[in-house]
Chain A
């Protein structure tokens, strides 16, 4: 038996075999989605009053909370995912190639998660099409419409990139792929001709370059501009938000890729396809990015604490010693402990897959809380002293819907892996 056949057999394993783990996980995720659908129906029929969100200012509440934080979190994972994949192609990092498609898929599904969350956050989702109807009148001045424009472009180009780079593999494996999904395989390979491979590579290279630059401009620009361009909002306004958001995005994305890839390795026994040294390198990336992120936190607080304007200092005080310190300090502690753990692991050259997976999951959750600590404090502590300090506690509706969106992303990921090869087949030829 050739090594090519062995490798393709391994890559096809999730498509050709349905394990008990798959069925049980799918059932659990579907149940969570059903509960989420009920929660959303409650929100649709009763309004946002069922959430912890309230009017800002004299109302003493905050209009942006867990949903917007989840949106920023998803966008971060999404941007970093394709950045990893595109960097692999541009810099010809062959060692990381088995991760490319996993990262691309993470991008597309996270963007879908982001889109769902932003619609869920809307008080009148029936008016969502107004984005399109009033597009020309609003695109000049509204950071929200800039987001809509660039996120949609990013979503479409990422999907095209994934589909295009998959065409050759689907053609190669067509005879072995399940016939029940033939319509999907035909759609992906529409218009396929012999000899298109070289052109696919050329278009994919330029598209990858475009996506990497777009990612930096989006995750380090358009998304943070929703916050950083608002001079009325202490804690948000400032030039630091661009690089701060970008670092957070890349950190969560690397953690996300470690999570999905290590679960795939464990479940499908792909140790020889994605060797441990790939995860070692990813954990080093995670270390560097977390250190940079901590560096930005230091900048943010030293600027506010040294001689910052009153409103900026009030927010920094709330995070360091006040009402938000019970959330912020544990987040800070987890980030510092993660750096210590990753540094020890790197210096002692004693790598643990399990520990890195657990740490990556903890970091993903921690960064979600950190996103909440970006969105929430500025609204709780208004610059205008006439406004009272606000309060916000997310309700079961918010938590349930957010968990349902994560379940949707996870289930869609599993279903994709059941239909399409999640790794480039040419990897198999090389082995």
Chain B
């Protein structure tokens, strides 16, 4: 369901990010491979951060009585 939160976050707040990504791919000089490398790294870093959170949670679950 579309709520005010989804609209504000994905429709307004993250709008500059979409524009930056589109500009990287279609802007001149056109080097879509390099743009993919940069934003692919962003995606990889996001996954690393999420996996890091999971690892932290798992380790802490062993310490908490």
Could you tell me which A residues sit within 8 Å of B by CB distance?
Answer: 41, 44-45, 119, 124-129, 131-132, 139-143, 145-146, 149-150, 152-153, 155-157, 159-160, 163-164, 190-191, 193, 196, 198-199, 202-203, 206-207, 209-211, 213-214, 217-218, 221-222
Contact = CB atoms under 8 A, between A and B. Distances in A.
23 contacts: A125-B56, A128-B56, A129-B54, A132-B50, A132-B54, A139-B5, A141-B3, A146-B5, A146-B8, A149-B9, A153-B17, A156-B46, A157-B20, A160-B45, A199-B35, A202-B23, A202-B28, A202-B29, A206-B24, A210-B16, A210-B17, A214-B13, A214-B14
6 nearest interchain CB pairs? A140-B3, A126-B61, A210-B20, A210-B16, A206-B23, A213-B16
B56 A214 contact: no
Task: Tell me which of B19, B20, B27, B41 has the highest count of chain A C-beta atoms within 10 A of its own C-beta.
Answer: B20
Nearest to A217: B13
Contacts of A210: 16-17, 19-20
B12 A199 contact: no
Nearest to A138: B5
Nearest to B12: A217
Interface in B33-63: 34-35, 37-39, 41-42, 45-46, 49-50, 53-54, 56-58, 60-61, 63
B34 A126 contact: no
Interface residues of B, number: 42
Given A119-B56, A146-B5, A150-B9, 18 more contacts: A125-B56, A129-B54, A132-B53, A132-B54, A140-B3, A146-B13, A150-B13, A156-B49, A157-B20, A157-B42, A164-B38, A198-B29, A202-B24, A202-B29, A203-B38, A209-B20, A214-B14, A222-B9
A110 B18 CA distance: 24
A218 B9 CA distance: 10
Contacts of A163: 41
B43 to A, nearest CB: 8
B41 A44 contact: no
A231 B1 CA distance: 24
A90 to B, nearest CB: 12
Nearest to B18: A210
A206 B20 contact: yes
